[in-house]
Structure 1
Amino acid sequence: MTHADPARVERVRANLAAVRGRIEAACAAAGRSPEEVSLVAVTKTYPASDVRILASLGVTDVGENRDQEAAPKAAETADLGLTWHFVGQLQTNKARSVASYADVVHSVDRARLARVLGDRAAAADRRLTCLVQVNLDEDSRAGVIGPRGGVDPNDALEIAARIDEHEALTLGGVMAVAPRGGDPGAAFARLRTVADRIRDRHPLATVISAGMSADLEAAVERGATHLRLGTALLGNREPIVG
């Protein structure tokens, strides 16, 4: 393994300190403890060397959006003992691969996907924590704009039940992305309502995965337990080609 670029280490260290400062301030404003909020570093388009830098700085939760990038990166950093989160849209034909390395899948929005993930995890003698992805974008659900991942809030309990009934899956809670151009606080308040309904029926499903680099404060205010942060930690991404 080559040694990390010292300048890159210092840049990531400074970004991480700034992010943790934002999280602490948001928690203080919301009357919450920072210990209630986990940071998931989303490393899409960044190399495994950045994963190693983050791990050296105490980050233990790493997220990826695309299986074709996540699988080799997880394998390359398997010695670090990280918790891997799959946070992107997931097709059932990728379930076998994702179930082989992911610890948490944030984007379960179909009963069939839950079933296939569970079957693949069982075959690999693994157990996955799954979150119900909730679509908070009314224009998307109505077909006014292109489809986005996530189940209609009214159907979230049904997907939660399908996850909970599979012996190889653990129902963790919910995930959502704030609608583009909307009020993230209002969106995350809706997510909190869905989360509460699911937790009423499944008391251990306490995860609320909400908030990214631009809107983490609104997410913390509305009860987020996991923040998915990439740009704030690692900088602006280059577009993926292909």
Structure 2
Amino acid sequence: MSNLSNLAIEDRIKEIRKRMDSACQSVGRNPEEVRLLLAVKTVPAEKIIRALDFGETLLGENKVQELQQKYSFIGNERAEWHFIGHLQTNKVKDVLKYATCIHSVDRLKLGQALHNHLTKEKKKVDILVQVNTSYEESKFGASPEEALNLIQQLAQLDTLQIKGLMTIGKLSANQDEVRSCFRLLKSIQQQVIQQDYSGVKMDVLSMGMSGDLEVAIEEGATMVRVGTAIFGERIYPDSYYWNEHASDSD
């Protein structure tokens, strides 16, 4: 990765787009098959607006409170908001006011909470099922062995439009270990397609971030979530966002 510390946000986006294009070309994929989602956790609205001015449209937020605050500045005319963090059941009502897709549905109880609220509102929402392909205790997500059963159960909730899967690759310098996480998600996608669950689509594989997006694209990602390589290092450590022991009403 080139040194981006002194580059403007626009130049960093160009660099990421180049990396995405090169990764697609290396495996004969059309770059238009892969969407760039800007992961905007802790990023001030002014910086996000610069990225939108440069033509980006897809934003992903990890925390409901931050989503509310930034949405109030930016709105939804120029941006499509996805929720990509761990979602507590008591925050369902709030997140559904802003997000058009939730990447982190990882348990039936959360699916039921979403369904109950959506039923009252007579609405539907797109979701991705999060799978813990690295088997790390520090990460959320259904286990790979539970994924098909969870999807089958969620498919019974007609307000949830299942569009695909999400995972967070192993934070490892060993590329083979990282690749195995993405390859496993692709394998689960193929298993779900074979099951042909009614109403379930498997068009989206949300996987890959700043450090491993090439590997993810090589293994079939249709959406990569990039924050650090565009907006710089975060104020908080990753554990602030991916803490398995975070308080929850579940």
Structure 2 length-normalised TM: 0.85
Q: How does 1:164-179 map to 2 (within 5 A)?
A: 164-179=155-170
Q: Per the alignment, do residues 237 and 185 of structure 1 end up closer, same or farther by CA in structure 2, a change over 3 Å counting? A: same
Q: Displacement, 1:137?
A: 2.1
Partner residue of 2:243?
Answer: none
Partner residue of 1:190?
Answer: 184
Is 1:137 aligned to 2:134, yes or no?
A: yes
- Distance in 2 between residues matched to 1:227 and 1:122, nearest whole Å: 31
Query: What does the per-residue CA deviation read over 1:56-77, in whole Å, with 9 as the maximum and x for residues that have no partner?
Result: 1111110011111112212321
Partner residue of 2:34?
Answer: 37
Partner residue of 2:63?
Answer: 66
Unaligned runs of 5+ in 1: 1-9, 141-145
Partner residue of 1:150?
Answer: 141
Q: In percent, how many aligned pairs have the same letter?
A: 33
Residue of 61, 81, 84 corresponding to 1:84: 81
- Distance in 2 between residues matched to 1:12 and 1:165, nearest whole Å: 43
Larger deviation, residues 189-198 vs 202-211: 202-211
Q: Displacement, 1:176?
A: 0.3
Is 1:234 aligned to 2:231, yes or no?
A: yes
How many residue pairs get aligned? The number is: 226
Partner residue of 2:23?
Answer: 26
Larger deviation, residues 70-79 vs 31-40: 70-79
Query: What does the per-residue CA deviation read over 1:147-202, in whole Å, with 9 as the maximum and x for residues that have no partner?
Result: 42000111111222233222221001100001232521111111110111122224
- Distance in 2 between residues matched to 1:55 and 1:161, nearest whole Å: 37
AA aligned to 1:164 is: A
SS at match of 1:80: coil
Q: Per the alignment, do residues 121 and 76 of structure 1 end up closer, same or farther by CA in structure 2, a change over 3 Å counting? A: farther
Unaligned runs of 5+ in 2: 1-6, 241-250
Q: Are the counterparts in 2 of residues 100 and 121 from structure 1 also a CA contact under 8 Å? A: no
AA aligned to 2:63 is: R
Q: Are the counterparts in 2 of residues 199 and 206 from structure 1 also a CA contact under 8 Å? A: no
Q: Per the alignment, do residues 75 and 163 of structure 1 end up closer, same or farther by CA in structure 2, a change over 3 Å counting? A: farther
Q: Are the counterparts in 2 of residues 163 and 170 from structure 1 also a CA contact under 8 Å? A: no
SS at match of 2:171: coil
Q: Are the counterparts in 1 of residues 52 and 78 from structure 2 also a CA contact under 8 Å? A: no
Between Structure 1 and Structure 2, the one with more helix by share is: 1
AA aligned to 1:165 is: Q
Is 1:53 aligned to 2:26, yes or no?
A: no
